[in-house]
Amino acid sequence: SQQGEEDPQALSIQEGENATMNCSYKTSINNLQWYRQNSGRGLVHLILIRSNEREKHSGRLRVTLDTSKKSSSLLITASRAADTASYFCAIFSGSARQLTFGSGTQLTVLP
């Protein structure tokens, strides 16, 4: 079973708006990562946040982590049509040395 669960499953917004996706998980983590996948392609790493960090920024991306609630959010600001993709959170718990992915959020940015 997959540990991370994204919410919402699908999100449709207008270009220029912000998009927020949430991820919840069940176990303790070493770090949490967000990936993007365009249709039929491999995944691309976006950003990583360690368990002792609360917020991280990278360009138009902002990630928050609340380990007490076992949740994370990914904010994409000023979205573009090219941001249309599936976004996955993945948890790395260290001991297992593997990533466990959620089921993803399908983001559609309308021009």
Q: Rounded CA gap, 93 and 38, in Å?
A: 26
Q: Rounded CA gap, 29 and 13, in Å?
A: 31
Q: Any contact of residue 74 with other proteins (CB under 8 A)?
A: no
Q: Any contact of residue 26 with other proteins (CB under 8 A)?
A: no
For residue 78, the minimal CB distance to other proteins (Å) is: 25
Q: Rounded CA gap, 65 and 73, in Å?
A: 7
E runs forming strands in 15-60: 19-24, 31-37, 43-50, 55-58
Q: Any contact of residue 40 with other proteins (CB under 8 A)?
A: yes
- Give the x-and-dash track for 4-23 against other proteins (CB under 8 A): x-------------------
Q: Which residues here bind other proteins, judged by CB under 8 A? A: 2, 4, 30-31, 33, 35, 40-45, 48, 50, 88, 90, 92, 96-104
